[in-house]
Chains A and B, each alone.
Chain A
Amino acid sequence: MNELLVSVSPHIRDGATTRGIMRDVIIALAPAAAASVIIFGARAALVVAFCAVACPLLEAAYEKALGRKATAGDLSACVTGVLLAFNLPVGIPLWKAFVGCAAAIILVKQLFGGLGKNFANPAITARIVMLLAFPAAMAAWACGGGLFGETYDAVTGATPLTMIAQGNTGALPPLSAMLLGVRGGCLGETSAVALALGGVYLLARRVITWHAPAAFILTVFVFSALLGRDPVYQVLSGGLLLGAIFMATDYVTTPQTAAGRLVFGLGAGLITVIIRAYGSYPEGVSFSILLMNILTPYIGRLTAKKAFGGADA
């Protein structure tokens, strides 16, 4: 009577689900979201909420139209929306943010087959699409407007990296402001403390490993120092911490092995510093992550683990 069932591997499972992991990422993003509201004012919350709702809606609409299985409930589109919002200036018109959401969800994610099949990070690629589509709106950095701001509704000004690129180093904000994030920039990228808090949470929950972020940040630190630029300042400015902690650790578009993740971080760090130092754009984090996303299959192949006892592949 007792039938023995033989099933194929894997035999050891844990309870991790896409939804659970994405919930952890959203929790980890919360401090930076709170910081953005404090620094840039209530409109930051509006932009984040708009993108976080628009992305799952777009995903659901696309899957409905094509008769595919609905996956918006796995929260991954919601994470994409929040990350995209973090990469936008606070004053971005909402219809432009919507175009960005559509680029992220439909162009980058769904056209390639949905979660797990996209070759590039949807949020970072959508940011680049928007950078090319709306160059003026994407560079209208608001400074202040929140609790630390002046009494004006909004003041636009250059980001620290733009000031460095223009040689205007006299007006740079002090390091303490860089740590807290009271500076010009995209709404979610400025507060180093809040981003690091989220990173520690993800590490503690074992959602991410330290390899890619550490290699990314360390490479930028060392390479900036070699080029004679203030390494601490370079690490704290731009979107480096946001990109290193939340985007260079994406499961789909970065390598799976520890060695591969180190190579990914190293490459992204090198490209970032090269763009910052020699490129025409002041910031290169998004381009570096996209370029390394494209290289990820090759890194994965070169750093693949050999099965124990297995013959040469």
Chain B
Amino acid sequence: MGRLSELTKGIIRENPVLVLVLGTCPTLAVSTQTGSAVGMGIAATAVLLGSNVAISLLRGVIPDKVRIPCFIVLIAGFVTVVQMVVEAYSYTLFQALGIYLPLIVVNCIILGRAEMFASKNGVAASALDAIGMGLGFTLTLFVMATIRETLGNGTWMGLEIPGLSGNGVAVLTMAPGGFIVFGCMIALVNKITKARGGEVRAEVDGCAGCPSAEACGKN
């Protein structure tokens, strides 16, 4: 796999949220406002970059049997750094994200990439993977929050949209609406990937149909 595709695979083909279906909790919770959604995306990307690089560097040192606690400790360290930086430099974002900022520690995307990619690949590839996955996560959050905030609340980035504000479809800002938008976006991405690569999952046979099959290495 070329260097460039390590970067771009996270955007559509192996999009962490819409194809791997990881990190659903922060995605649904934070995507009610575009501003905080982008903030969450950038914060998670920063943590992901740090943890992927660190874990890739330490992949020869960490014993296989205790790798998950080691990964979590490393990730928690980076999350604490990011949390303090956000609190210091962007207090409104810190308040908007609330509990979901420290919860990046248990964001499946980060642990998933550590387990699936960084612990098996070199530093440069892991860094590119982190940036690509972070980009995919941020873009997904941005698009989803744009849909939910404009149609649900009649605003975008907190700015009122003439004609839409006051006519919001309130359900879109609630959990059921989040799941509806989430489902529609998964359907759209499936449509795109299917159109590009032919019958992707026509015959899922064990690991062969999984988008992470190559990185996972089980097959």
CB within 8 Å of B: which residues of A? 99, 107, 129, 132-135
Contact = CB atoms under 8 A, between A and B. Distances in A.
Contacts of A99: 169
With most chain B CB atoms within 10 A of its CB, the pick from A99, A134, A135 is A134
A134 B180 contact: no
A255 B170 CA distance: 33
Contacts of A134: 169-170
A61 to B, nearest CB: 17
A129 B179 CA distance: 13
B175 to A, nearest CB: 10
B176 interface: yes
B180 A133 contact: no
B171 interface: yes
Which of under 10, 10 to 19, 20 to 34, or 35 or more describes the interface residues of B?
under 10
Interface in B149-185: 169-172, 174, 176-177, 180
A99 B170 CA distance: 12
A135 B176 CA distance: 15
Contacts of B180: 107
Interface pairs A-B: 7 shortest CB-CB: A133-B171, A132-B171, A133-B169, A133-B170, A129-B171, A135-B170, A132-B174
A2 to B, nearest CB: 46
Interface string B131-146: 0000000000000000
A162 to B, nearest CB: 19
13 contacts: A99-B169, A107-B180, A129-B171, A129-B176, A132-B176, A132-B177, A133-B169, A133-B170, A133-B171, A133-B172, A133-B177, A134-B170, A135-B170
Contacts of A135: 170
B38 to A, nearest CB: 25
A133 B174 CA distance: 9
A133 B172 CA distance: 7
A91 to B, nearest CB: 15
Contacts of A133: 169-172, 177
Nearest to A93: B167
A129 B172 CA distance: 10
Contacts of B174: 132
A272 B171 CA distance: 23
Nearest to B166: A136
A240 B170 CA distance: 26
A239 to B, nearest CB: 20
A99 to B, nearest CB: 7
Contacts of B169: 99, 133-134
B110 to A, nearest CB: 32
With most chain B CB atoms within 10 A of its CB, the pick from A129, A133, A135 is A133
